[in-house]
Amino acid sequence: MFADILSGTESTPLYKKLVFEKQVADQASAWVEEQELSGLLFIQVVVKSGIDAAVAEKEMDSVVTKLLQNGPAADETERAKNRYLANFSRGIERTGGMGGRSDVLAESMTYGGSPDAYLNKLQIIAEAKVSDIKATAQKWLMKPYYTLQIDPYPEMDTANTNIDRSILPSLSAQPDAKFPAIQKATLKNGLKVILLERDAMTEGRKDVSEKLGKKDRWPSDYGKRDHQPDAEKRSAGRRPSKKVANIDEQGDRANVRQNTPPKGPSNKR
Q: Which of 30-44, 107-121, 124-138, 160-174 has the lowest mean pLDDT?
A: 160-174
In a domain, 266, yes or no: no
120 and 17 inside one domain = yes
Segments of the chain assigned E as strands: 25-34, 39-47, 182-186, 192-196, 208-210, 225-227
Q: Which residue has better confidence, 216 or 232?
A: 216
- How many domains are contained in the chain? 2
Segment 86-106 mean pLDDT: 89
Q: Is residue 154, in this structure, part of any structural domain at all?
A: no
What pLDDT, on a 0 to 100 scale, did the predictor assign at position 75?
93
35 lies in which domain range? 2-141
Q: Which of 7-11, 50-54, 76-80, 163-167 has the lowest mean pLDDT?
A: 163-167
Taken in order 101, 104, 105, 106, is the CA torsion positive or negative? positive
Q: Which residue has the higher pLDDT, 228 or 114?
A: 114
- The domain boundary, picked from 141, 173, 192, lies at 141
Determine the angle formed by the axes of helices 53-70 and 130-141, rounding to 10 degrees.
130
Tell me what pLDDT residue 213 has. 57
Whether residues 88 and 203 fall in one domain: no
**pLDDT class for 233, splitting at 50, 70, 90?**
very low
Nearest to 49, CA basis, from 23, 20, 30? 23
Phi-psi region of 201 (alpha: psi -120 to 50; beta: other; left: phi over 0): beta
Percent of the chain residues past pLDDT 90, beyond the cut: 45
Q: What is the mean pLDDT of the chain?
A: 79
Question: Which are the contacts of 225, defined by CB distance < 8 A and separation ≥ 6?
Answer: 209, 210, 212, 216, 217, 259
pLDDT at 204: 74
Residue at 149 is within a domain: no
Across 220-240, average pLDDT: 44
Choice among 84-93, 112-121, 209-218, 251-260 with the minimum mean pLDDT: 251-260
132 shares its domain with 199? no
- Domain final position from 125, 141, 157: 141
Does residue 82 belong to any structural domain of this protein?
A: yes
CA dihedral over 126, 127, 130, 134, signed as positive or negative: negative
Shared-domain flag, residues 190 and 75: no
Does residue 246 register a pLDDT over 80?
Answer: no
For the chain, the maximum distance between any two Cα atoms, rounded to a whole number of angstroms, is: 92
Residue 163 to residue 153: CA distance in whole angstroms: 26
pLDDT grade, residue 136 (50/70/90)?
Answer: very high
Region 235-253: mean pLDDT is 38
238: pLDDT strictly greater than 50: no
pLDDT, residue 79, reads 93
Beta-carbon contacts of 71 under 8 Å, excluding residues fewer than 6 positions away, are 130, 131, 133, 134, 137
Could you tell me if 74 and 22 lie in one domain?
A: yes
- Which pLDDT score, from 0 to 100, does residue 77 have? 93
